Amino acid sequence: MTNTRPATCGFRQALAQENHLPLGTWIKLPALESIELVALAGFDFVVIDLEHAPLDMATVFTLIGGAKNSGLSPLVRISTADTGLIQRVLDSGADGLVFPHIESVDEARRVVRAMRFPPEGTRGVGNTSRAGQWGALDRREYLRFGREEVVCIVQIESAYAATIAGKIAAVDGVDAVLIGAADMAVGEGRDESDAEIIELITQACTAVQALGALVGSSTAASEEAVRATVASGYSFTMLSNDATLLGAAARQAVAVGRRISASVLPP
């Protein structure tokens, strides 16, 4: 029996909620437990990282499925506009893709075209995949989801890209811009707190927001960082990553154990 009920993108649903800042985190560990733990913590979405983590396609496929089953919206960061990889990730059920280091309007158009069905793009039809509910989803709905629901997020990560962020965000099919402050700062030989970097980011955000487009941040999981994110008018934010969150909790546990034991055990 064919399923004709509309498919939905969890990331878009989180954005549509009133008085709600969608929270995500990066997934770098090749472990389904990471997905389960961040889902239980209450995150809205995850970005499975194929740029900075040693994940293979089979692992990505498993993590996407785990996210969907846990109520998380799965996005995947892809470091190349490889049309074959884009096809496989989207048909694995990803709600969207994140493309790092976008430096021009042409690059933005190229990644959009690779992930959209004709006539807007060149993505092939594979509705017997997870994205098509293994053939149970009506093909028209599978195509509609790919055209209207799947999210394209481009990362602005250099000083030059920051100066043309508005033009990149204006490309038809780009749904959001994610600011990469760390790469931008390192590229300029500075750090994220430098006034020049802050000004570049502010200019980029202003240009994107003037179009009514979405702009997101990637930041530390701290009260100060989240307050700054809200004050800057970001539409969504990425808080840390699974490995860093685990490491921080482990260090805190050891610190407590050492401090307490030192205070009660004989010298």
Per-residue pLDDT, 190? 93
Per-residue pLDDT, 104? 97
**Domain extent at residue 133:** 10-241
How confident is the model over 56-99, as pLDDT tens digits?
Answer: 999 999 999 999 999 999 999 998 778 999 999 999 999 999 99
Within-domain flag for 127:
yes
Within-domain flag for 251:
no
The Cα–Cα gap between 6 and 145 comes to 8
Q: What is the pLDDT along the chain (267 residues), one digit of tens a residue?
A: 577 677 789 999 999 999 999 999 999 999 999 999 999 999 999 999 999 999 999 999 999 999 999 999 999 999 877 899 999 999 999 999 999 999 999 999 999 999 999 999 999 999 999 999 999 999 999 999 999 999 999 999 999 999 999 999 999 999 999 999 999 999 999 998 899 999 999 999 999 999 999 999 999 999 999 999 999 999 999 999 999 999 999 999 999 999 999 888 777
- Whether 52 is catalytic is yes
Within-domain flag for 1:
no
Contacts of 110 (CB under 8 A, 6+ apart): 81
Per-residue pLDDT, 262? 86
The Cα–Cα gap between 70 and 194 comes to 39
CB atoms within 10 A of CB 220: 12
Per-residue pLDDT, 82? 87
DSSP 8-state secondary structure symbol assigned to residue 189? T
The Cα–Cα gap between 73 and 94 comes to 8
Cβ-count burial of 36 within 10 angstroms (0-12 exposed, 13-18 middle, 19+ buried)? middle
Q: How many domains is the chain partitioned into structurally?
A: 1
Within-domain flag for 247:
no
* E strand or H helix at 44: none
Closest CA to 240 of 102, 58, 34, 3: 34
Q: What percent of the chain has pLDDT over 90?
A: 91
The region, left, alpha or beta by phi > 0 then psi within -120 to 50, assigned to residue 93 is left
Within-domain flag for 233:
yes
Within-domain flag for 50:
yes
Cβ-count burial of 19 within 10 angstroms (0-12 exposed, 13-18 middle, 19+ buried)? exposed
**Residue in the structure block whose two tokens are 């790092």:** 100
Catalytic residue among 2, 33, 52, 253: 52
What CATH number is given to the structural domain containing 223?
A: 3.20.20.60
The Cα–Cα gap between 97 and 100 comes to 10
Cβ-count burial of 224 within 10 angstroms (0-12 exposed, 13-18 middle, 19+ buried)? exposed
Within-domain flag for 258:
no
How confident is the model over 186-199, as pLDDT tens digits?
Answer: 999 999 889 999 99
Question: Taking the model in full, what pTM does it have?
Answer: 0.94
Within-domain flag for 4:
no
